[in-house]
Every structure is written in structure tokens, then in C-alpha cells.
Structure 1
Amino acid sequence: MNPARFLAATFAAASLGAVLPGSASADDAPSPCASLKRIVAAAPGGLASLTPDDGKGVAQPYGDDAQCSASGGSYQCTWTPHHDAGSSADALQAVAADIASCLPEATHDQNSPGRQHFYLGAPGKRTEITLAPAGSARLRLVVSGQ
């Protein structure tokens, strides 16, 4: 490489490093699809093996205060939608769209402003996904297995 090109390439790389030194972006957030698929893969019998962090990726595009837990045959997360997510009903619809997009094999059998419901699998090995308001300003996602 000639010296002029080497200097130009070095300057360009240094400039890029100065502009983007470890900057975080929305792409660094956990993927809703990866989180949903991990949760659904654990269902119906392994939901108790999930950690609180396993579900946070579902909520993070819409809220930063997700609290998730496993108990018995279910895994649930609740969170407060960001103000820029619109109303709780808008956020509920957006998360439902993520579920439908990420899990195309799921049947979406209830689509209302107050409740979204999906299921996967045959009776007896069914995984249910319910998204609904939790009070006036929070959303709740519950994944359960039968």
C-alpha cells in the first residue's frame, strides 16, 4: 500500500473510532424474537428453568423496567411501556405484532385492545401466550404450558 493511502486509511479508521467508541444502539438490545423463542422452547415443562433475564428482551423495545419470573407452569413479565410507545393499548398491539412475527407457527386466537392470546402445539402439549394490561399503566406477558 502506498504511504498516502495508508495514511488516509489510518485517518479514516481513527475518525470512525472517535465517532463510534463503543456506542450502544438499539441493535445492541436483546432481540424480542430471541427471547420469545427461548421462552417458548422451554415450554411447556421447562419454564421454571428460565431466569428473570430470559424475558426482558421481549419488553425492552417498549419498556425498561421489566420484571420477569417463573412459577409453577408459567413464566411472566410485567413492565411499563415507554411514553413514546403510545398508549398501553398501542404497546400491547406492538408486542402482539412481535409475537406474531417471531412465532409464525403460533395461532393468534384473540386480538382485542385488552387482550392478545396465542397458542402453539397440540392439546396436552400446548403453550399459551397471553398479553394483557396489568393495571392502568403496565403490561403483562404470561407464557404457560399445559
Structure 2
Amino acid sequence: MQISKHEEPMPALQRKAERLHQNPDLATPSSKKQKVMPSEMQNRASKSKKQSLSKHHLQPEAQRCQEIDEEVEGEESERADVEEKISTLQRIVPGGEDLGVEKLFEETAEYILSLQWQIKAMRALTTFFEGLERNTRKLGG
């Protein structure tokens, strides 16, 4: 390469880059050089592009699949929890084992109201008997 008086000398790296740009085969070591046909170059480029795309697109897709699996597992776990609670409720509510879920809920509401009335009655009786005991003490009994 001759340098004329009007050209400035090129740095070595810039000259090497230009040569590589003009002849890409220079970039690979001579022991690995192979003749590559243009169609094969396109196939390689296409394959490499597909691989890079699949890496970028598969990761979110795989992550989404994992999220769906976790959702399904979560729903199955919730369903098992609900079934266990219904089973417990059937044992607590008198006659609950023979009831369907809708009727079980109605009976549960009625049973809760019944228990609340029983609590009020017991408090009233407790208050009544405490009053009787105080009166008996006052009278010296």
C-alpha cells in the first residue's frame, strides 16, 4: 500500500478494519476458513436471527406458562381449602352432612342466629341468678 503525498497515513487498526470490511474471510483464522456459499450465509444469518428471537420471545412465553401453572396450582389449592372448610362446616352444623352447599349455608346462618339467641338467654339467666344471690346475702341467707 503506497501512500501518496495528499493522503494522510491511516492508523493500523483502521487499515485492518477496512481490509476486514472488504474481505470478511480475513476475520477467521486460516485453519477455520471455509468457502461459504451466499445461500448458506443467508441460512446462517436467518438461523442466528431465529435463535436470538426465540431466546427473547421464549423466555416471556415460558415465564407466562409458569405463571399460568402457578395460578392453576393456586386455584386447586384454594378449591381444596374451600372443600375442607365446607366439610368442617357440615360436621359443625347439626344435620349438615346431608345438605348441599347452598342449603348448608342457609342452615349455617339459621344455626348462628340460634346460637346468638341462646347466648342472650344464658346472659339473662346469669344476670337473674346473680341478682337472686345478692338479695339472699342482703337478707342474711
Measured against the shorter chain, the TM-score band is under 0.3
Relative CO higher for 1 or 2, CA cutoff 8 Å, sep ≥ 6? 1
Larger Rg: 2
> What TM-score comes out, normalization by structure 2 length?
0.22
